Amino acid sequence: MRSWPPMAKRLVTVGDLVLDLLLDVALPVMADAHQMSPQLLLEPGGAGTTLLAARRFGLEAVALGAVGDDAPGRMLLEMLDAAGVVTSALDRPAGSGTTTVVALGDRRQGGHVFLGHYGDGPPIRLTPEAKAELLAADAVYIAGYSLVEERLRPLVDGVFSSRDGASAPLFVDVGPFLGQLARSEVDGILDAADVLLLTEEEIPFVTAGQADVSACRRLLGDYPDLLIVLKRGASGCQLLAANLDLVCAGFPVALVDSIGAGDAFAAAFIWAKLNGYSLEHCGTIGNAMGAASVRVPGAGRNVPRRDDAQQVLDQFNSGIKLIC
């Protein structure tokens, strides 16, 4: 039976676990222009980075969803288990495959490219054990790529339907694939979400094709209880709600690798929100974690710790102290 530090808050992520294969390359990669990468990293990606960042901030972290019954799946479980992430409620169907992403990052000029393959296997459903973890959650997080994967649809539908009367806020990170969904499906996600995290490039996926910040403000007219967290990379973030329009400045640090920075931002923002920080400080803490993340290569087990985020906050004289 597991035990947690007193008063630790619990984050539950829903979706597919992903194994990232990370290579440092010169972009763009052209046909017949062969390259050798100076690095090869195998790390948890996507929500795996969020789970590991949550653990390093002191949150309880529980993974719901699927992992493949294969070598990449076993590798992911070993990495997450070693970090104290709870994986016992994950579904691991016999003969199934793990979602895998080849992440090509260019450290010299910035930018990255993701080449992915969804895992295969039978539909994943909300089991009684997974539902019990949801009911015990202080926050629930879903990455957008999990919302478009067909085999996860029964699980996601079960999560949404089980949230009737739930007190734990639902954080949805839009991601680059939500534009694949029908408008009615997007509306269902917006109905369920309490906090929406997205980049400027992802705004059209939730605003019926409109592509500016004013479209987010109009969206709030239909969803007045929604908090929108607009991630702007090195420029920080903007928080939008019915009676809120707040810009939280970013931290100018040397960029090594931006892969996983948004996933780390999400964990830090959720930690701050659960621990009673003001929204302005939540955004600033998320920005500090994102800045700490881009200072190191890859994501996964390379994700910064709370002390690294504190170092950024102190370096730029934010005046914010992260509680122990």
Residue 142 to residue 149: CA distance in whole angstroms = 12
Residue 178 DSSP symbol:
G
Q: Which amino acid is at 21?
A: L
- Which residue has tokens 């929204």? 279
**Is residue 4 a part of any domain in this protein?**
no
**Structural domain harbouring 120:** 10-30+38-315
Taking alpha carbons only, the member of 71, 120, 111, 55 closest to residue 93 is 120
pLDDT mean across residues, the chain: 92
Task: Please provide the size of the chain in residues.
Answer: 324
Q: What would the pLDDT profile of 260-306 be if each residue is shown by its tens digit?
A: 899 999 999 999 999 999 999 999 999 999 999 999 887 899 999 99
Question: pLDDT band for position 2 (50/70/90)?
Answer: very low
The radius of gyration of the chain's CA atoms, rounded to the nearest angstrom, is 19
What residues contact residue 98 under an 8 Å CB cut-off, 6+ apart? 17, 18, 19, 67, 68, 70, 72, 73, 76, 119
- Distance between CA atoms of residues 79 and 264, nearest Å: 17
Residue 114 has pLDDT above 60, yes or no: yes
Listed in sequence order, the DSSP H helices in the chain are: 47-57, 71-82, 128-135, 144-147, 153-162, 183-192, 203-206, 213-222, 261-274, 279-294, 306-315
> Is residue 310 assigned to a domain?
yes
Asked whether residue 75 is domain-assigned, the answer is yes
Query: Per the structure, how many domains does the chain have?
Result: 1
Distance, CA of 308 to CA of 109 (rounded, Å): 24
Domain-embedded: residue 107: yes
Record the pTM: 0.94
For the stretch 160-197, pLDDT in tens is 988 776 789 999 999 988 889 999 999 999 999 999 99
Answer for the pair 233, 209: CB distance below 8 angstroms, yes or no.
Answer: no
Q: Does residue 78 sit within a domain?
A: yes
CATH (domain of 129): 3.40.1190.20
